[in-house]
Homo-oligomer: A and B are copies of this chain.
Amino acid sequence: MARTCSIANALEVIGERWTLLALREVLLGNRRFDQIVQQTGASRDILATRLRKLVEVGLLERRQYELHPPRYEYHLTETGQSLHTVLLTLMDWGDRHVTQGPPPTVLEHSCGEVLRPKVVCEHCNEPVELGDSRAVRLGGQPVER
């Protein structure tokens, strides 16, 4: 049986290219269907399906902004908003290891410097390095020391 895992669970919800790219656009403030189509390059059918699912699972909310004809905007719920650090670390990895040339997207942090994300331990604030942690529970089972 496959390992029980929150990465696998998360991918059930957001593990699809157009889903993540749609969320990226809403995070950037592009909330309307046509904008999201244009900026992601998704087909209208695929995008409609993905947005519907994102509303169903509670990552997006659909709000009407025009009555005649009825038109809707997509807004992030709190759960959707909390994905921004996942997308930021993914973008940073893409900048460093996949994209040729300079980063296409550059964000400036409120401190005035270019935002590069660093992942630290919430407790000690030290950067998380590979190999400086060990599993004490894995797939729902305690790990023997």
Q: Given the interface contacts A111-B121, A119-B85, does A91 sit within 8 Å of B5 by beta carbon? A: yes
Interface residues of A (CB under 8 A from B): 1-13, 15-17, 20-21, 24-25, 27-28, 38-41, 79, 81-99, 103-111, 113-126, 128, 130, 132-140
Instruction: List 27 A-B pairs, Cβ < 8 Å.
Output: A2-B41, A6-B92, A6-B93, A6-B94, A6-B95, A7-B21, A8-B21, A8-B94, A11-B90, A15-B15, A86-B90, A86-B93, A107-B135, A108-B134, A108-B135, A109-B123, A109-B124, A110-B126, A111-B121, A111-B123, A111-B124, A115-B122, A115-B123, A116-B121, A117-B122, A117-B128, A125-B125
